[in-house]
Structure 1
């Protein structure tokens, strides 16, 4: 099969067609969730990247995974209920668990090393802001918005405008969560560890970066696949 992407392909469409491309975009600091509705050429220009090199990275991933069956349970051909159930099971529950487990490590590292590495105090502040907002966001999705979206899907919703307004609010919350993660990455210099970093310090940076990836895919499934069906 011929490599289907070019400089004019939208970032979000590439991820929809080739989910593993999200790893390439994450590595190159290309926002494929909140900012995915732009051509690859624009993303390359924004981040000062080389188009040929990026396309080559994508091609390697494409050739590796083109023969694998697409994950029909979560991508564009799935029904709304399947996507919602997948998001709740694989992203909400996983995020809740990781936020809970990671909290004491973030607190410990900032307390022990904050005097010599003041950026950790900012990481502490941003992490707990992110934790509070994402937790409230997921609760709202499960209690209010997802049930409304399911009614939109089966045609039984009574107030379509209310549902659309709530979806729009969720997208704004996604943008803010993405901005907090961007600040964490900025203040940690792309999770660059100092020479004196202890094991817990290393653990925190590694798990914060993994949490970023989990959140980006969570947002991508909603912003670029689920929500556009109803707006």
Structure 2
């Protein structure tokens, strides 16, 4: 089977394990999910045959799916999953990452490979993400739960724009950290910082995917 002409978001929704595979190849299945696999692969100079073969293997021999299949959950269930899993998770993780980044920059600031600027970028993300999540929790999500789907269309569009901006911020983080590649002599704090940022990126992309590709399209269709 060829996945070349399928959108990344559609593959992520229908092939168990595809999300982890896309993260391995640094393919954006959430904000860039409308792009076809062949185009995304070409932009990153990847081997389409290799990726297609691995997707086919996942399709034919599915591994454990990513938790529950949320595509058929009620809006209330989906929202009540998003807030504790992703919103609360980001609020807990980012301050810890900021502290680690400040420590690494303070101790290793004289090294040319020090990830200078990471702490500032993480602080920016915490500010932006906190405001974004507050708008969802106080305005958009109550609107959806109340069944005001048509009214929710404009806030959804704003949230999608902010998701795209967060995707750009993730690219800045990758650039500042040499794509999360620590030096051979990295200390424990340095390694923990990059590991934590990698987990944060995974969670933020899955968060965005859950909203952009599952919740928001269904609300639009219900309007």
Query: Could you tell me the TM-score, scaled by structure 1's length?
Result: 0.88
Aligned mates of 2:66, 2:114 — CA distance in 1: 41
Aligned to 2:170: 181
Q: Indicate which of 1, 4, 24 corresponds to 1:7.
A: 4
For 1:49-99, what per-residue CA distance to the aligned partner results, in whole angstroms no more than 9, with x for missing partners?
A: 111100122233334426x57854x52111111111111121111111111
Runs of 4+ displaced beyond 6 Å? none
Aligned match of 2:26 = 29
Q: What is the CA deviation profile of residues 114-168 of structure 1, one whole-angstrom value per residue up to 9, with x for unaligned ones?
A: 221465222122111111111111111111110112223xxxx3x934x221111
Could you say which residue in structure 2 is the equivalent of 1:216? 205
Q: How many residues align?
A: 220
Q: Report the CA distance shift for 1:65/1:128 in structure 2 as closer, same or farther (over 3 A).
A: same
Cα distance in structure 2, aligned partners of 1:35 and 1:117 = 32
Other-structure match for 1:18: 15
Structure 1 residue runs without a partner (length 5+):
none
Q: Over the residues paired in the alignment, what is the CA RMSD in angstroms? A: 2.0
Secondary structure of the 1:124 match is helix
Deviation at 1:204, TM superposition (A): 0.1
Q: Distance in 2 between matches of 1:197 and 1:150?
A: 47
